[in-house]
Chains A and B, each alone.
Chain A
Amino acid sequence: MTRHEEGPHHEVGLEEGADDVVVPQGRVVESEFASIAVRLDREGNSVRLRVEDLRTGRVRHLDALELESIVWLGEGHLTQLLDPSHERWRG
C-alpha cells in the first residue's frame, strides 16, 4: 500500500490470534506521546473526519468548518490547548 502522508504512521490491522484487540479504523498518526487514528466518516449527511485517541478510545468527529478553524488556530491558542491543565487534567 502506498503511503502519502509524512511523519510516523502505520497501517493498522488485526493481529492474528488476538480477538480481543480493538481495531481502530483508518490511518494512524503516532509518536511516543500520542497515538491517533484518523479516517473519513460518511455516516452523517456530509463527510466528517473521525479522530480516535487510540490510548483511551475517545472519539471525536470534526466537520469541515471545525477543521478549517483548527487550521487557522494561532500558535498561541494551540499551545494553550496543549497545556495539560487546560481541559483533561484541569484538576
Chain B
Amino acid sequence: MTAVVPSASEVEEGGSRYDRLIQPARVHGTLYTDPSIYAEELRKIWHRTWVFVGHESEVPQPNDYVRKQLADQDVVMTRDKDGEVHLLINRCAHRGLQVCDDQAGNSSSFRCPYHGWTYRNTGELLGYPYNKGYGGKNQLPLGMGKVARVDSYQGFVFGSLAEDGPSLDEHLGAAKGEIDRLVGLSPEGRVALDAGWLRHRTRANWKFLAENETDGYHPQFVHGSIFGVTGSPIGALYSDNSTAVTRNLGDGHSENDLRPEFREFAEPMRWFGTTPDRVPSYVQAMKDAFGEDEANRRMIEGAPHVMIFPNLFIAEIQVFNIQPVGVGECVQYSTAVQIDGGHELNQRMVSQSIGSVGPAGMLLADDTEMYERNQRGVAMADPEWLDVRRGLVRESVDADGFTIGAATDETGMRGFWNHYKSLMEAEDR
C-alpha cells in the first residue's frame, strides 16, 4: 500500500464513498468483492432500475408461463387469457411457499401445493380450501407478489421492483435504437427468443461481465482460438487499426459499433460471416420487405453489439441475460436470436450460437475463464485498483453527442461506471 492510493477503509472520507471508489481512470477492487456493496447494489440497482427478464415470445400462448430470475427474485412470467404479460413473484401469500416449480407450462391458475391456495395467472387469489376458517369465500385481500412495474420494448420484457422511477423508455434511451437495429433484420419486424436458454453459472461478480461485453481490447487475446478455427473476419475489427468505435450510449449502456468497417466492405451478410447466395430466401424476403437499397443497407450493417445496463447483452446473433447470485457469483443465460421471416438464418443462428456459447462452445468458455480469474485476482491486496483509462487520450464526441473511443478503448466501461455511481449515490428509500 502506498501513501497516494487510499485503501477501501479510507475511502469513506471526502466526497461520497463512491467518489473515492470510482474515479475517472480507475475503480477500486472492493467494488467486486465487498458483500456490503453487493447488498447495496441489490437495493439500489437490481431492486430499483429496469432489469431485463425475458421475451414475450417465451409465452406465446394465452396462459403460458415460464420461470425467470430477476436478481435474487424468482419470478413467473405469465401471459394471461387476454394476452397481457405479467411478472409475478413466485411466492404464496399464505405461508410464503414457492408456488410454481416447473420451468414452463400452461395454466390459467396456480395452486400452491402446501395448503391449496389458488391464484389466477395475474397473481390474484381466487380461492382457498375450507373457506369457513376465513369466514367464507373472497375474504382475504391477498395475492402473489408482483414486480411493481412491467414493460416491454420490441418484445423484450423488463421489470422494475420500484413503484416509481424513470420509465422503461427513459431507461433504455439511446439503446432502443440498437434493439430496433436487431429487429430491423427481420423482414417481419419481429424477433423471438424462443430457442431455449442455456444457463452458465459463473463464479464472478456480475460487473465483470457487464464491462467485458463491450471491451474491444480482449478479443484478440481471449478469442484467438475461435477466430482461428472459424476464419472469422471479426477479430481484425478489434485492433488499433480498426475504424470501428466503442460508444457510450448513456444511462450505462454501451456498444461496439462495427458498422464503419462493414460499410467499407459493403458486402451484405458479411457481419454474419456468410454471403447472400447462401441465404437466398432471407435476402429475398428482406428485399421484398424493404426494397433493394434499404435491405442491402441493413444486411451490410448487421446486428448490434450492445450492452444494455445492467444485464441485457445483445451480441449480434445471440442474447445474454446476466443475473447476479452473490457478490462473487452470477448466472449467464444465453440464447440464439430467432428472426421472424429469417428463413435459412435461424438454423444457422442456433448452430453458431451453440458453437460460441453452448456447453462445448468456444466463446463464452473463454470469457468465463477470464471472469473467474478476474474474480480471484481482485481478491488480492495489491495494487487494489483496476485501470479503466484506455482511450481517454483519444476520446471524442460523435455527431449525435455520444462519447466515442476507438474499437479497443474502455469508453463503454467508463459509461457503465458513471451510471452505476449515480445509482449507488442515490438515497436509500
Residues of A within 8 A of B (CB): 43-48, 61, 63-66
* B107 x A65 contact (CB < 8 A): yes
Distance in Å: Cβ of B210 to nearest Cβ of chain A? 30
Distance, CA A46 to CA B107, complexed state (A): 8
Distance, CA A22 to CA B56, complexed state (A): 31
Q: On chain B, which size bracket covers the interface?
A: 10 to 19
Distance in Å: Cβ of A41 to nearest Cβ of chain B? 9
Question: Residues 252-279 of chain B: 1 if any A CB is under 8 Å from the residue's CB, otherwise 0?
Answer: 0000000000000000000000000000
24 A–B pairs (Cβ distance < 8 Å), ordered by A: A43-B60, A43-B61, A44-B63, A44-B106, A45-B64, A45-B66, A45-B105, A45-B106, A46-B104, A46-B107, A47-B106, A48-B63, A48-B106, A61-B61, A61-B62, A61-B106, A63-B63, A63-B106, A63-B108, A64-B107, A65-B108, A65-B109, A65-B111, A66-B109
Q: Which residues of chain B from 66 to 116 have a CB within 8 Å of any chain A CB?
A: 66, 102, 104-109, 111
- B59 sits at the interface (CB 8 A): yes
Distance in Å: Cβ of B153 to nearest Cβ of chain A? 23
Given contact pairs A63-B107, A66-B108, A45 touches B62 in the complex (Cβ within 8 A) = no
Distance in Å: Cβ of B102 to nearest Cβ of chain A? 7
Secondary structure dominating the interface of A: loop
Distance in Å: Cβ of B126 to nearest Cβ of chain A? 11
Distance, CA A15 to CA B256, complexed state (A): 59
Given contact pairs A61-B62, A61-B63, A63-B63, A46 touches B108 in the complex (Cβ within 8 A) = no
Q: Which residues of A contact B108 (CB under 8 A)?
A: 63, 65-66
Distance in Å: Cβ of B31 to nearest Cβ of chain A? 39
Distance, CA A63 to CA B66, complexed state (A): 15
Distance, CA A34 to CA B423, complexed state (A): 62
Q: Which residues of A contact B416 (CB under 8 A)?
A: none
Distance in Å: Cβ of A87 to nearest Cβ of chain B? 16
Closest to B61 in A: A44
Q: Which residues of A contact B62 (CB under 8 A)?
A: 61
Q: Which residues of B contact A66 (CB under 8 A)?
A: 108-109
Distance, CA A65 to CA B109, complexed state (A): 7
Distance, CA A46 to CA B64, complexed state (A): 8
In the complex, which of the residues A43, A48, A64 has the most CB atoms of chain B within 10 Å of its own CB atom? Answer: A48
- B385 sits at the interface (CB 8 A): no
Distance, CA A44 to CA B60, complexed state (A): 7
Given A44-B106, A45-B104, A64-B107, 16 additional A-B pairs, CB 8 A: A44-B60, A45-B59, A45-B61, A45-B65, A45-B105, A45-B106, A46-B102, A46-B106, A46-B107, A48-B106, A61-B61, A61-B62, A61-B63, A63-B106, A65-B108, A65-B111
Distance, CA A43 to CA B66, complexed state (A): 14
4 tightest CB-CB pairs across the interface, nearest first?
Answer: A44-B106, A44-B61, A46-B105, A45-B104
Distance, CA A86 to CA B160, complexed state (A): 42
Q: Which residues of B contact A48 (CB under 8 A)?
A: 63, 106
Q: Which residues of A contact B61 (CB under 8 A)?
A: 43-45, 61
* B109 x A44 contact (CB < 8 A): no
Distance, CA A23 to CA B230, complexed state (A): 50
Distance, CA A63 to CA B111, complexed state (A): 13
Distance, CA A45 to CA B106, complexed state (A): 5
Distance in Å: Cβ of A44 to nearest Cβ of chain B? 4
Distance in Å: Cβ of A52 to nearest Cβ of chain B? 16
Q: Which residues of A contact B106 (CB under 8 A)?
A: 44-48, 61, 63
Closest to A48 in B: B106
Closest to A62 in B: B108
Distance, CA A2 to CA B266, complexed state (A): 62
Q: Which residues of B contact A44 (CB under 8 A)?
A: 60-61, 63-64, 106
Distance, CA A45 to CA B54, complexed state (A): 15
Q: Which residues of A contact B102 (CB under 8 A)?
A: 46
Q: Which residues of A contact B59 (CB under 8 A)?
A: 45
Q: Which residues of B contact A65 (CB under 8 A)?
A: 107-109, 111, 118
Distance, CA A61 to CA B106, complexed state (A): 10
Q: Which residues of A contact B105 (CB under 8 A)?
A: 45-46
Distance, CA A65 to CA B63, complexed state (A): 12
In the complex, which of the residues B59, B106, B107, B109 has the most CB atoms of chain A within 10 Å of its own CB atom? Answer: B106
Question: Residues 330-366 of chain B: 1 if any A CB is under 8 Å from the residue's CB, otherwise 0?
Answer: 0000000000000000000000000000000000000
